[in-house]
Structure 1
Amino acid sequence: MKIVVLGAGVVGTAAAYYLARDGHEVTVVERHPAPANGTSYSNAGFVSPGDAYAWASPGALKTFLKSLYKPELGIKIRPSLDPAFLSWTWRFLQQCTQARANANTDVKLRLALYSRDCINEITSETGIDFDERRKGIVYFYRSQQSLDAGVEHFSYIAERGLEIEAVDRKRLFEIEPGLADSGDRIAGGIYSPMDQTGDSRLFTTRLADYASERHGAKFLYDTSVEGLEFSGDRVSAVKTAKGSIPCDAAVLSMGPESGVFARTLGLDLPIYPVKGYTATMELKNPDNGPTMGSVDEERYVVFTRLGNRIRLASTAEFAGFDRSHKPADFERMFRTARELFPGAIDESKAECWAGLRPMMPNSVPVIGKTRYGNLYFDTGHGHLGWTLACGSGKFLSDIVAGRKPDIDPQGLLPTV
């Protein structure tokens, strides 16, 4: 089949790779001049089933209210009368029961564990390098009380297949010696050896090249999607600024813009953009800083080792499609990094960036066929796009081919 994928972020590129590997004639349309120039450009760098909890939960409303007077939590809400924001918020609140939180977490964890295996299989098959480290991730806490709460929190996904180890300060510093200079600021943590890290932009760029060179996928950059053409209830072509592309099927993977585009087609896809910030810089000395991925669970700051670079990530900000940033947005990250990794960073040389996560109210992506018989969704991956991308792409390719997916599809398929 001739399949057009809308979007060349990590999700769209992974889907294109699997579809092209299946023998389809794949064209990827991307408005940016290269792959992974949007949300995938500079995320936290985590491939983390350990972060599979749904955002919507009984404690979410309390956390959001607390964020109004505790900016160190890293959650910012810019009040808005935007109908899309109000609708999304209402749906989010409906997902905040314990039963829904558990069900949504179960789906995310199932896909995350599968996707991690898919990423590793792709790495083995293609040989692409993306500053990958399979050392696990540590989630650390600053007090015994918060550590005890963290152990209880992680027990749910531990009971469902994620290997974890609760560690005291001494054991934590053995696992991540980069934190040893933080002294008594840390009480202990949770070590998830099944998690891993890597640069999603490098991965996406090199996978796009591989899919093009080895499987014939065609990537059209600097090309905006303007709409779809239909024949009855089926897509017949994708309209772009450079002309129409006839197709037998189309895949919507446009990140935070997916919801807006879907509404032009009369499809209810409740995706809302949630902004995150990252800062990436060379380590002052390659022996300094973190050796793996870690999370300060009380300040909501992420640290990732990417080759000789360190990446800091933080914040969930509800501000519509605003991608702007200013120096003050990164100061909390830099201050925390200086405390925990003294002498490791030079923030004056950091590449600072802000991007938008495509969040569904239930934190679960939507993958599969819509009510238009040959239009597929592969979108809504939220803060776990890098983690879930390859599993989603393989799952989608199975759906398109009519094969039984490797994992239970419940909770993933579109309902529109």
Structure 2
Amino acid sequence: MRILVLGAGAVGTAAAYYLARDGHEVTVIERHAVPASGTSYANGGLVSPGDATAWASPEALKTFVRGMFNHDLGIRVRLGRDPYLFAWGLRFLRQCTQARKRANTLPKLRLALYSRDSINALSDETGITYDDRRKGILYLSRSRESLDAAARNYGFLADHGLPIEVVDPERMAGIDPGLAGARHHFAGAIYSPTDQTGDSRLFATRLATYATEKLGVDFRFNTTVEGLDTEGDAVRAVRTDAGPFTADNVVLAMGPESGLLGRRHGLDLPIYPVKGYAATIPLEDEGKGPTMGGADEDRYVAYSRLGNRLRLSCTAEFTGFDRTFRKQDFAPMFRTAHELFPGAFDEAKAELWAGLRPMMPRSVPVLGRARYRNLYLDTGHGHLGWTLAAGSGRLLADLVAGRSPEIDTEGLLYGN
């Protein structure tokens, strides 16, 4: 079967790999010159089922409203710039109940656990490495109140398959000696020992090379998707600036742009681009940096150890497709990182970046066949795109092949 995959980020590249492994003839269309040049370029680096709790929640509603007026928070909302945000926001607000939070978290966690196992199996099968560390993640709390709230939140995940441990500052520093000098700032942490870290750009780049050389996948870079030619219940061709491409099936994995393309062709695909900031910094003294991944939950700052580099990420900014940034946008994350890892890095050497997370109102990705009999979705992964990439690609390949997926798809497929 001939299959077109639209998008060569971590999600699209993983889908292409699994489809080609099944024996399909796969072509990937990507507007950039190399894989993982968009959302997958410099995310937080966390492969984190522990972060599977749906964003839409009563707590998020309060933060969302505060973010309209206080742009120093980890969440920033700029309503005047994008009318579509109003429509998306109304759908998001409808999900901000405790019942919906739990209902949306369950399929997300199910896919995240499956995906973590899938990416490890994929790495073992192909031999690709991506500065990965399978040492767990620490979710840090600065006050007793926030630690108690985290224990309740992560306790729900633990009840549904995620191993966790609530740890005090001494145990926290024992797990990651890089935090020894900062432990007095915290009341404790949630330790998720089966979470892990890695560089999604290295993953996608090396997997694309493997898929090309070993499985015959054809990557068409510098090629922009312009639309779909449809006839009846099928996609007849994908229009690009390099001419039309035809195939038996088409997979939409274009991250934030998936929503724009989908809406032009009658798909109810409410994806909003949520901007995040990241900095990648060489470690001046590797002994003073973290040995694993973590997140300062009270300050919305995540970090990863990627080889001899420190990756920092912060902020969820609702401002449309604006990818611009200023140096001062990174000041909060640097202040926190200096506090966590004093003397470990020189922020003047940081590579700064901003990218867009494709967020659905439910905070759950959408997979499977959509409207046209030969159009499949693998998109809307939000802040967990790197975590969910391998699992969603593997699940998608099962759907295309007509196999029963290895996990329950309730809450994950388009229209359910």
Superposition TM-score, scaled by structure 2 size: 0.98
Q: Give how far 1:268 is off.
A: 1.4
Q: Please name the residue that 1:373 is paired with.
A: 373
2:192 aligned partner, one-letter code = S
Q: How do 1:10-409 and structure 2 match up within 5 A?
A: 10-68=10-68, 71-80=71-80, 82-409=82-409
The whole-number CA distance in structure 2 between the counterparts of 1:53 and 1:231 is 40
Tell me if structure 2 keeps the 8 A contact 1:337–1:345: no
Deviation, structure 1 residue 80: 2.5
Change (3 A) 1:362 1:250: same
Q: What is the Cα deviation at residue 70 of structure 1?
A: 5.2
Residues in 2 aligned to 1:99 and 1:27: alpha-carbon distance in whole angstroms: 41
SS in 2 for 1:374: strand
Q: Deviations over 1:198-218 (max 9, x none)?
A: 000000000011111111110
Whether the 8 Å contact between 2:4 and 2:27 is mirrored in structure 1 is: yes
- CA-to-partner distance for each residue in 1:19-47, whole Å, 9 max, x for gaps? 00101100000000000000000000000
Question: Any gaps of 5 or more consecutive residues in structure 2?
Answer: none
* Structure 1 CA distance for aligned equivalents of residues 112 and 169 of structure 2: 28
Report the Cα distance in structure 2 between the residues aligned to 1:183 and 1:410, rounded to whole angstroms.
Answer: 41
Gaps of 5+ in 1: none
Task: Please state whether the residue corresponding to 2:372 is helix, strand or coil.
Answer: coil
Inter-partner Cα distance in structure 2 for 1:59 and 1:264: 33
Deviation digits for residues 138-177 of structure 1 (CA, Å, limit 9, x no counterpart)? 0011122221221122111111100000000110000011
SS in 1 for 2:40: helix
- The residue type equivalent to 1:131 in the other structure is D
Query: Over aligned residue pairs, what C-alpha RMSD do you find?
Result: 1.2
1:306, 1:282 → 2: CA distance? Answer: 9
Q: Is the 8 A contact 2:169 2:183 kept in 1?
A: no
Between the aligned partners of 2:224 and 2:121, the Cα distance in structure 1 is 32
**Counterpart secondary structure, 2:34:** coil
* 1:287 CA drift (Å): 1.8
Report how far residue 232 of structure 1 moved: 2.4
Q: 1:94 to 1:312 in 2, by over 3 A?
A: same
Check whether the contact 2:172–2:183 (CA below 8 A) recurs between aligned residues: no
Distance in 2 (CA, whole Å) between partners of 1:223 and 1:71 is 36
Distance 1:134 1:70 in 2: 37
SS at match of 1:314: strand
Q: How far is 1:50 from its partner?
A: 0.1
CA distance in 2, matches of 1:363, 1:103: 11
User: Amino acid of the residue matched to residue 269 of structure 1?
Assistant: L
Q: In 1, distance between residues paired with 2:208 and 2:81?
A: 39
SS at match of 2:50: helix
Counterpart Cα distance in 1 of 2:36 and 2:102: 31
More displaced stretch, 367-376 vs 62-71: 62-71
Q: How many residues align?
A: 416
Question: Secondary structure at the residue paired with 2:278?
Answer: strand
CA contact under 8 A between 1:72 and 1:299: conserved in structure 2? no
Deviations 1:209-241 (A, max 9, x none): 111111111000000011122232211221111
TM-aligned CA deviation for residue 84 of structure 1: 1.8
Aligned equivalents of 1:391, 1:265: Cα separation in 2: 27
1:183 shift after superposition: 4.3
Letter in structure 1 aligned against 2:79: P
| TM-score normalised by L of structure 1 | 0.98
